[in-house]
A = this chain, B = another copy of it.
């Protein structure tokens, strides 16, 4: 078993985390910017331990919307202006090669619900993975996490913490690792806390839309929404804890051919529309899931009315964000977004008896980034 103490955790102990089932680790960037694994290599491990270039850095990682209807389990995107922050500093009081989580603050019950044990904290696990990739043995780090995302909201809360931490550790040592390495570090974290899926962590780190084609080998495809087009998300988060177990339990194990073919064609249309900047097509496809949403929607009180209200108010499309309970609608106009959000909140209270808050956010095209730093 791993041993850890108040001050930190030795990197060797990462091996005691149950091994993630991935046979292939190393990613290379192809001409078309998709990331594919090289089947014979592990994730990057530097030959020489890099020196730190900052005494401290502060990073931000955005919220993410996974699934997007028929993009279930393979598509996600990043949402700007809301997310988690990590402050990371070189700390002589932490044993060299170790990481300590000094503080967790933030909205809701984040601070009390999350552990400071870096082996079981999303940010901690990702940070340790990056330290291991970099081969850090001579420097101790102290990490402070500021949660901007509520836990279990369906907006990629765990991925945002992991992404911010991974980017911060990489940055403090001069940014030696690639985006794909950082995704792998984040996957270590996601695997431990919410399952081995990359549809939140990949967009949280890379920004924009990301399609996960396969896990073995891991093949991640960034999908570029046209730069000249506007895309806004209306995120409506009700005061309701989505019953995660039930959300998984209701998923069908067998799917009729007709529904399978329908969802496959919607998935294709979803991807085509976003690459072509066709918000109307994107919204129609996003709203057309016949497999997952019909099963999960009844578990979120008022969901059907909320979706209807969004469409009535002019949204291009509307579905459950991640596994819920947040509902996401899309539009291309901020004022219209506010009206859509208002109508969705009204529907939540009227039909679901749930208080909810709405926000209108742009597509984040950048992903996790350093927002301030102090040079050595």
Contacts and interface: CB of A to CB of B under 8 A. Distances in A.
A358 interface: no
A269 interface: yes
Given A32-B276, A221-B272, A211 B265 contact: yes
Contacts of A219: 269, 284
Interface in A202-249: 211-214, 219, 221, 223
B34 A268 contact: no
Given A214-B265, A265-B74, A275-B276, A256 B253 contact: yes
A75 interface: yes
A125 B254 CA distance: 39
Contacts of A330: none
Contacts of A75: 268
Contacts of A271: 268, 271-272, 275
Residue of A34, A285, A291 with highest tally of chain B CB at under 10 A: A34
Residue of A70, A75, A257 with highest tally of chain B CB at under 10 A: A257
Contact of A255 (B34, B223, B255, B265): B255
Contact of A278 (B34, B263, B269, B273): B34
Contacts of A10: none
Q: How many copies does the complex hold?
A: 2
A255 B257 contact: yes
Interface in A118-137: none
Contacts of A263: 260, 264
A269 B213 CA distance: 6
B73 A277 contact: no
A288 B263 CA distance: 17
Residue of A74, A254, A265 with highest tally of chain B CB at under 10 A: A265
A19 interface: no
A252 interface: yes
A231 to B, nearest CB: 14
Contacts of A143: none
A182 interface: no
A66 to B, nearest CB: 13
A71 B268 contact: yes
Nearest to A33: B276
Nearest to A291: B260
A267 interface: yes
Contacts of A261: 72-74
Interface of A: 30-32, 34, 70-75, 211-214, 219, 221, 223, 251-257, 260-261, 263-273, 275-278, 280-281, 284-285, 288, 291
26 contacts: A30-B281, A31-B278, A32-B276, A32-B280, A32-B281, A71-B268, A73-B265, A74-B264, A74-B265, A75-B268, A211-B265, A211-B268, A211-B272, A213-B265, A213-B281, A213-B284, A221-B273, A223-B272, A252-B257, A253-B257, A254-B256, A263-B264, A267-B267, A267-B268, A268-B270, A271-B272
Given A74-B268, A255-B256, 10 more contacts: A34-B278, A70-B264, A72-B261, A72-B264, A254-B256, A254-B257, A267-B267, A267-B268, A268-B270, A272-B275
Q: Which 9 A-B pairs have the closest CB atoms?
A: A74-B265, A32-B278, A213-B269, A268-B271, A254-B254, A264-B267, A271-B271, A267-B268, A255-B260
